[in-house]
Structure 1
């Protein structure tokens, strides 16, 4: 894969992922949305379908990593680091772009939020936050949840035909849904540094009325935790398989 293909593929794929992922959260939590209060299960499936659409779109160009933790896990396993910076740069640009597109789609709802007697904080639409703020526990949760994502992704490559037919992307999408349902409760399951950091930057910069804080004190956890989990997955896979 050429450098240009990798960069463009990761931008497009990650933008689609974040557009659909943040979009489903906006749909569920913002007032005057037809999906208001649809619930956690809808959110987890929305993120899973975001992975499905983004990864299938990016796969012909970049392989569809869409996640620095996945890129890191693959690099640790294979020892090939040449294109890692390009993958991560594309993922970050795509994540920011996808968050901006979500804001545009729900622009009227964001504006209406300012007119409410009690405006809703909006960071949770863009980025994750813990149910109970406990840095060590939150970090451990993100590490474990990311291993539950990246280690199976690496193992899927051992099954002949999954990658060539594209079935592996479908399986990964359902895996993301499962992780959200099973492990997402404590922290909101970032499991992807770009997915959290890119939209958080966007939230900080966008002119969203009464948007509240971007919570930079917590922001390192959904970045560091998934990176540790991705690297650990590469080490485990290399040692065990």
Structure 2
């Protein structure tokens, strides 16, 4: 029987590290007077990839989903292994960890948030936003990016035995391939929306932006907030569904 308490704590720890380092690299690039100010989008891509590496490594005991889209994709692909209660435990841990990671970034960069004059740069640390706002096309971008993430995650795991003892999820794959996958998605498909590809990556920090006493923070842009939640969930579910015919299990 699954230890839901262990899964919950593991997902909090892993997602905390993911968001602390992920939002941290955005803060380093975007905020005033930082050492990394102006470092560019490629630095953000690599920073997020290394954040995934850290989070996946730490959350080994739960399979390191760190992302509701991964959890939903795996549940669609193998519903017998993921009853609804277990899915909700994963997502709850991910949301809490994401919120706490964003708070940690705010604490680390508190003085730089205070000195940054542009509210959009402050919000950009916490949440994604489109380069060209068009909700339908932004949604398609998030669906495609997350489809690639979850489909390849499932593909990574399909090369082993059907009854492998390793936990399902990212930790079963090794952290480095997944980190490189995230860098690749960001470099290729991240331009239109900033590639949330993870509902709690966007929602948890956006809530943190809303509640934290950030000087001159402006709006939390709730009008856009549904896109990086719905898009990744749809993309993950599609990936889990089509993996059955397109990625047949190789048994040994």
What do the CA deviations read for 1:23-66 (whole angstroms, capped 9, x no partner)? Answer: 0000001111001101111100000000000011001x211000
Paired residue for 1:10? Answer: 11
What do the CA deviations read for 1:88-135 (whole angstroms, capped 9, x no partner)? Answer: 00000000000000000001111222xx5x665411111000000011
Inter-partner Cα distance in structure 2 for 1:4 and 1:89: 11
Paired residue for 1:136? Answer: 136
- Mapped contact 1:52–1:170 kept (Cα < 8 A): yes
Q: 1:191 aligns with which of 180, 194, 197?
A: 197
Paired residue for 2:179? Answer: 173
Inter-partner Cα distance in structure 1 for 2:218 and 2:119: 9
Inter-partner Cα distance in structure 2 for 1:126 and 1:209: 14
Inter-partner Cα distance in structure 1 for 2:159 and 2:176: 14
Q: 2:226 aligns with which of 220, 225, 236?
A: 220
Paired residue for 1:108? Answer: 111
- SS where residue 12 of structure 1 aligns? helix
Which sections of structure 1, spanning at least 5 residues, go unmatched? none
Query: How many Å apart are 1:171 and its aligned residue?
Result: 0.3
Inter-partner Cα distance in structure 1 for 2:121 and 2:153: 34
Number of equivalent positions: 237
Structure 2 residue 206 is matched with structure 1 residue 200: yes
Query: How many Å apart are 1:166 and its aligned residue?
Result: 5.9
Inter-partner Cα distance in structure 2 for 1:198 and 1:13: 14
Inter-partner Cα distance in structure 2 for 1:202 and 1:19: 12
Q: 2:100 aligns with which of 67, 72, 97?
A: 97
Paired residue for 2:155? Answer: 155
TM-score of the superposed pair, with normalisation by structure 2:
0.90
Inter-partner Cα distance in structure 1 for 2:120 and 2:146: 29
Inter-partner Cα distance in structure 1 for 2:245 and 2:134: 32
Which sections of structure 2, spanning at least 5 residues, go unmatched? none
Inter-partner Cα distance in structure 2 for 1:160 and 1:170: 18
Inter-partner Cα distance in structure 2 for 1:218 and 1:120: 14
- Mapped contact 1:123–1:214 kept (Cα < 8 A): yes
What do the CA deviations read for 1:178-204 (whole angstroms, capped 9, x no partner)? Answer: 000000000000000000000000001
Paired residue for 1:68? Answer: 68
- SS where residue 174 of structure 2 aligns? helix
Paired residue for 1:26? Answer: 27
TM-score of the superposed pair, with normalisation by structure 1:
0.94
- Mapped contact 2:31–2:121 kept (Cα < 8 A): no
Question: Runs ≥4 in structure 1, deviation > 3 angstroms?
Answer: 118-121, 160-168
- SS where residue 122 of structure 1 aligns? helix
